[in-house]
Amino acid sequence: MKKAMIMLIMIMMGFIVFGAGTENVISELGYSAGLTGKGETGYIYGGSVSSIKVNPSLLSGLKGAGIMWTHTELNYNQWNDYISVGMPIDIKGIKMGLGFSWNRLWIDGIPITDIGDTIEGTDYVEIINMGNTNMTMNEYGLGLSYKISKFQIGVLGKYTQGGIMDYTVKGIGFDVGITFIKDIIDRDEIIMDGLINNMGIAVLIKDIGGTRYKWNTGYSERTDMIGELGLGLSFDIPIFGEESFNIEGGVSRYIGRSSEMNYKIGAELYVLPIIPVRIGYNNGGNITGGIGIETDYIRVDYSYSGMRDIEPVHKVSIGLNW
């Protein structure tokens, strides 16, 4: 009598998407091309609404409202889309920021097989392909930031849901961040060559307490909490203009079952007021680079990165500001 059992390559998706003691793989894919080009930094000089997932406290420092979309095509029939929206809010002198993000990972062409009877004359089980299916993972984020003097404080709530065939997963997590940025230059004084414009430091805790993801099969997984420290310097280079160069570095550490650490560094130079060139290093993603075009109303960015265990990734981001 034939025995039937559906075998899904992604049945252990809990280990792949939410690896034990690691970060949600959707986050590991990065965000906008602008941030990826700088080695996935953006703790101090995120520069756009896409930084909501890197450091939610930057929302209250936005110069205007904006929306940004990033599309990435990965190997193994995977696609990633990241959309972020944000706006500053000023209520009777109280500076705040509000933002929303949607991060989607789509995996197509997952084979479904059927195990039948033993092949006649052998001890081998007959395996029959029954077609293909796909899997989606969606992470929705809602962020709120508040600015007090030189300090910016922010929180991001995250809701994750996904599924493959009849299997579904859900999870809720929270990130918090605080950023301190101090201006060094007095604009009323003569600016000297190479003088530092400002400097900043950011402290973040992501997936507070560890975010738990639960499948409808009863299986659950909890990611580790992540602590991050980011530092940044911005320079006024007279030949290029005010705030024409910035450099950032960061370190993140898993807090829980894993003690893995990740180091990042990135730099951005505005060779023209509207054209930033970027380079970075991320020991989870190796060398990165990129270029952009930024105007008052539109922003287009491109980046290249070599990601661990994934073929080199090309990203394109398009944003609107108003």
Count H helices, E strands: the chain?
3, 17
CATH code that applies to domain 6-321: 2.40.160
Give the sign of the dihedral formed by CA 256, CA 17, CA 86, CA 281. positive
Residue 89 has a CB neighbour count (10 Å cut-off) of 16
**Torsion angles phi and psi, residue 114, rounded to 5:** -120, 130
188 Cβ partners below 8 Å, 6+ apart?
none
117 Cβ partners below 8 Å, 6+ apart?
2, 3, 125, 126
Give the pairing type, strands 167-183 and 212-215: antiparallel
| Rounded distance between C-alpha atoms, residue 176 and residue 121, angstroms | 62
Residue ranges covered by each domain of the chain: 6-321
What's the pTM?
Answer: 0.83
What's 190's DSSP letter?
A: P
160 φψ region: left (φ > 0), alpha (ψ -120 to 50), beta (else) = beta
Q: Give, for all 322 residues of the chain, the pLDDT tens digit.
A: 333 333 333 433 443 444 444 555 666 667 889 998 999 899 999 878 988 999 999 999 898 999 999 998 877 778 889 999 999 998 888 899 999 999 998 888 777 777 777 766 777 777 776 777 888 889 999 999 999 988 999 999 999 998 888 889 899 999 999 999 998 765 555 444 458 889 999 999 999 988 888 988 888 888 889 999 999 999 988 888 888 999 999 998 888 777 788 899 999 999 999 999 999 998 765 789 999 999 989 999 999 887 555 557 889 999 999 8
Strands (E), 193-240: 196-206, 212-215, 220-222, 225-237
**Torsion angles phi and psi, residue 57, rounded to 5:** -70, -15
